[in-house]
Amino acid sequence: MERIGFWIGGKIVPGESGRTGPVYNPATGEQTHEVDFATPQEVSKAVEAAKEALPGWRATSLSKRADVFFRIRELLEERKTDIARAITLQHGKVLSDAVGEVQRGLENVEYATGIPHLLQGAFSEQVSTGIDVYSIRQPLGVVAGITPFNFPGMVPIWMCANAMACGNTFLLKPSEKDPGPSLVLAELFKDAGIPDGVFNVVHGDKVAVDAILEHPDIAAVSFVGSTPIAKYIYANGTANGKRVQALGGAKNHMIVLPDADIDMVADSAVSAGYGSAGERCMSVSVVTSVGKVSDRVVDAIADRLPKVKVGSGLDPESEMGPLVTREHRDKVASYLDSGSAQGARVITDGREHALYKESPGFFLGLSLMDEVTPQMDAYRDEIFGPVLSVVRADTYDQAVDLVNRNPYGNGVALFTRDGGAARQFIFEVEVGMVGINVPIPVPVAYYSFGGWKGSLFGDSHMYGPEGIRFYTRGKVVTQRWPDPAKSAVDLGFPRTR
């Protein structure tokens, strides 16, 4: 069985502990690799490499750092399909979707090419006689990123592009379920001119994560994953004195007002609900239709489901691939049983799909449940699969209340033709990323990405301006160039007037 090792100091380093995890091709169900799990000593080795590379990288001029990011951008563009293929083989998403993931990562690299501008400080001349003050932002040191399975290319880039551009060195701990793309990225960074030790990768489970959280030489941790682990990372990372941003899970609602165009609503709900087999943190998982429009919304969505082609991500005809593992697929499917037992109406059961019944791959067909209520497990849990729930509301107020009472607050969408209603919604909805007639409102790279409530622990959103702030700390310099002849002792507190 082929092994997946670490990337330390610019080269592949095999794990030595003998602890490993299986990696599958979700479309065939076959195990294709064993990934090495790092011990705390191996994590320390990677941190040492990052520490060693830090002084040189920190001192590299902004123009040279920007040059490297321009080269990364070119190589990402050139190798987009290879990276996407590496993603599809271990995650399962269809190739076109994996290319889209790389493209959204690339946007963050483009943002990082502007680092000379992004790190500009402020300068105040003559704050007192002969005294100037200026502020600068400097890197934190060695920083780490811990990432989820669902975006094995994009989310690491969300973190490491800004972190490295700011002058930090980086340690990535990607998901052990699809670790392959991290090494494809590592090679690309090296080819683009990232010096050895500036970008490192270790794989593993809780043991490697705890070693990162406890390591005294790691200054900050960025995390993206499920809410219980995000909470754990935030509590333990900050208890160890680190700066932490921990993005968690989601339950994204799409509210449909009665004036919305039903065909557009159904197209958007199907695209955003089942794209990437529902394994996106910004997937729509609940459609909340308001008033008498509900029957038409459910019918229009149900009509579209049989037309979506499910199959291997490498088949250019496929629109939706398998789920990441068999266990995850079975857990997702179990919500159809619990939903039905708790009173929901299963309109389309993905277990009827031929690939669910016959393929050894981890397939589940598109599933739709109507008359779901907030008390049901299917509503309370983040399903993270191709199961869309419809929760009916009588009024706009009920729909907004449902969203605001939900413990998650990642993304939300409103579909309407009424600008006044949309404006009111933006004003009062308690969610970090809002789409108006846009079902997956992932911000572009020059804004920042982050949810509210149980979808984010810490005060910094990811990438964009907040990413630059997260990966740097401020320093304020007060300086004068006095005439030594006028020097005198003065025990008073420094005055400006």
Minimum distance from residue 406 beta carbon to ligand NAD (Å): 13
Site for ligand NAD contains 36 (CB under 6 A): no
Site for ligand NAD contains 361 (CB under 6 A): no
Minimum distance from residue 62 beta carbon to ligand NAD (Å): 29
Stretch that binds ligand NAD, among 142-150, 287-295, 413-421, 464-472 (CB under 6 A): 142-150
Site for ligand NAD contains 458 (CB under 6 A): no
Site for ligand NAD contains 463 (CB under 6 A): no
Site for ligand NAD contains 224 (CB under 6 A): yes
Active site residues: 281
Q: Which is nearer to ligand NAD, 146 or 387 (CB)?
A: 146
Minimum distance from residue 392 beta carbon to ligand NAD (Å): 25
Minimum distance from residue 247 beta carbon to ligand NAD (Å): 4
Q: Which of 20, 90, 147, 460 binds ligand NAD (CB under 6 A)?
A: 147
Site for ligand NAD contains 237 (CB under 6 A): no
Site for ligand NAD contains 410 (CB under 6 A): yes
Minimum distance from residue 35 beta carbon to ligand NAD (Å): 10
Site for ligand NAD contains 249 (CB under 6 A): yes
Q: Which of 49, 118, 163, 250 binds ligand NAD (CB under 6 A)?
A: 250
Site for ligand NAD contains 406 (CB under 6 A): no
Which contacts qualify for 290-294: CB closer than 8 Å, 24 or more apart? 290/255, 290/256, 290/257, 290/258, 290/393, 290/394, 290/395, 290/396, 290/398, 290/399, 291/258, 291/393, 291/394, 291/395, 292/258, 293/256, 293/257, 293/258, 293/260, 293/262, 294/390, 294/392
Residue 474 identity: G
Site for ligand NAD contains 97 (CB under 6 A): no
Site for ligand NAD contains 90 (CB under 6 A): no
Number of residues that bind ligand NAD (CB under 6 A): 26
Site for ligand NAD contains 162 (CB under 6 A): no
Selection from 53, 65, 11 nearest residue 201 by Cα: 11
Residue with nearest beta carbon to ligand NAD: 225
Site for ligand NAD contains 154 (CB under 6 A): no
Stretch that binds ligand NAD, among 14-22, 28-36, 220-228, 465-473 (CB under 6 A): 220-228
Q: State the residues that interact with ligand NAD by CB under 6 A.
A: 146-151, 173, 175-176, 205-206, 209, 224-226, 229, 247-250, 281, 382, 384, 410, 451, 455
